[in-house]
Amino acid sequence: MYIRQEVMAPGMRMTVFNGSPRKNGSDARILEEAVRTAEGMGYECETIDVYSLGIGGCRACMACKKTGSCVQKDGMNEVLEKIRSSDIIVLASPIYFGAEAGPMKILMDRMYPMVGTHDGSQKPDVGSLKKVNVLLTCADPKGAMTYGSILSRYVSSFKIMGVTDTEGAIIPGADPETVMSSDYTPGYLDILRYQLEG
């Protein structure tokens, strides 16, 4: 069992991306507690609704490999700066048809300006980002085993960007009415606390 230590983190920033279309769904409820936890430890927090961003998909034009920013003028460059100015980000999404919600996948694709080039001519540019936390929820009671590859993909993607402290969890059988009493939710919040304290 994880024992919580009181660690204050003045000046630290956590940006939360809620990739669920449901404003009061399972993700939102867990994230509210996650933000309370972080703020109680001295973090400055901001929650962003991914569905309301309205960003388009990556066009694979590769212009960002020259400039470090995206040529599309849809607000994603501002989002990238929020990510780069964070110490930790939380990415939360329900699982729909075996993958994260569409807007969350688009958000991930649009982080490509932060990825270095294969030939090493451009290094990853994540700013002050040191940690990533991923929360995935699904209605399937066996989802933690079924969808583990999604979480692994996030860990691998951020490792490519140079962020090696990437943790997370899948909350199976998630229902907004009962998710806070799920056996899995305290474990997820413990993982986040551990990251926030480290």
- Domain of 98: which CATH number? 3.40.50.360
Whether residue 47 contacts residue 35, with contact meaning beta carbons closer than 8 Å, is answered with yes
pLDDT, residue 2, reads: 37
Residue 1 resides in a domain:
no
Residue 30 resides in a domain:
yes
Q: How many CA atoms lie within 13 A of 163 on its CB side?
A: 28
pLDDT, residue 97, reads: 92
Indicate the number of domains in the chain. Answer: 1
Q: What is the end-to-end Cα distance of the chain in Å, rounded? A: 17
**Higher per-residue pLDDT: 117 or 87:** 87
Beta-carbon contacts of residue 53 (< 8 Å; ≥ 6 apart): 75, 76, 79, 103, 107
Return d(Cα 157, Cα 150) in angstroms, integer.
11
Residue 4 resides in a domain:
no
Rounded average pLDDT over 167-176: 96
Is the model's pLDDT at 6 over the cut of 70? no
- The whole domain housing 28 covers 13-197
Residue 136 resides in a domain:
yes
Read off the pTM: 0.92
pLDDT, residue 3, reads: 39
Residue 157 resides in a domain:
yes
Is the model's pLDDT at 28 over the cut of 90? yes
Rounded average pLDDT over 75-100: 97
Residue 55 resides in a domain:
yes
E strands, 50-172, are 88-96, 99-100, 131-137, 165-171
pLDDT, residue 68, reads: 86
Is the model's pLDDT at 1 over the cut of 50? no
Residue 7 resides in a domain:
no
Q: Residue 83's Cα: distance from chain center in Å?
A: 10
Residue 81 resides in a domain:
yes
What integer best gives the mean pLDDT of the chain? 92
Strand partners, 90: 16, 133
